[in-house]
């Protein structure tokens, strides 16, 4: 009986040891650009307001990023295809994209969910920022 109890305790301890990692990101956020920004803790500074695409600059603490919301999945896919030409790192969801450096997007992901997307440098790589990061947070297509 003691061996059995010891095995159960060991199994529980091993199971608990695997739970020490970071929590998974929340489900992918949905909503308007303003709702996404509020969920991330930012008051958006609207830069582009059109029927198919809305874009705003955001600041949360010392972090700066661009939020882009799309009316259609196709609009997001086309925007991301163009953005990939410039390289960079994006937090991508079905109807929105966030543009910033990877540490900012990793932090933002804890509030908005989404998937980190690292694009390669394409035909416009000569426009990449110094340091080889290729991000264009202030020049989102």
pTM over 0.75: no
87-116 pLDDT, tens digit each: 899 999 999 999 999 999 999 999 999 999
Query: Partners of 4 in the beta sheet?
Result: none
The CB density around residue 105, as the number of other CB atoms within 10 Å, is 24
Per-residue pLDDT 10s for the chain (141 aa) are 555 544 444 444 444 445 566 667 789 999 999 999 999 999 999 999 999 999 999 998 899 999 999 999 999 999 999 998 888 999 999 999 999 999 999 999 999 999 999 886 443 332 233 233 333 333 444
Phi-psi sector, 13: left (phi>0), alpha (psi -120 to 50), beta: alpha
Please tell me the distance from the alpha carbon of residue 77 to that of residue 60, in angstroms, as a whole number: 26
């Amino acid at each position: 009986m003691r061996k059995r109890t010891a095995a159960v305790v060991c199994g529980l301890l091993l199971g608990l040891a695997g739970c020490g990692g970071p929590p998974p990101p929340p489900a992918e956020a949905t909503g308007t650009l303003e709702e996404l920004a509020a969920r991330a803790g930012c008051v958006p500074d609207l830069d582009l307001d059109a029927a198919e695409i809305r874009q705003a600059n955001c600041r949360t603490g010392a972090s700066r990023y661009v939020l882009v919301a799309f009316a259609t999945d196709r609009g997001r896919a086309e925007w991301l295809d163009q953005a990939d030409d410039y390289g960079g790192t994006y937090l991508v969801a079905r109807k929105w994209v966030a543009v910033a450096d990877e540490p900012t997007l990793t932090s933002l992901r804890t509030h908005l969910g989404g998937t980190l997307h690292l694009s390669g440098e394409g035909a416009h790589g000569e426009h990449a920022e110094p340091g080889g990061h290729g991000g264009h947070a202030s020049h989102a297509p």
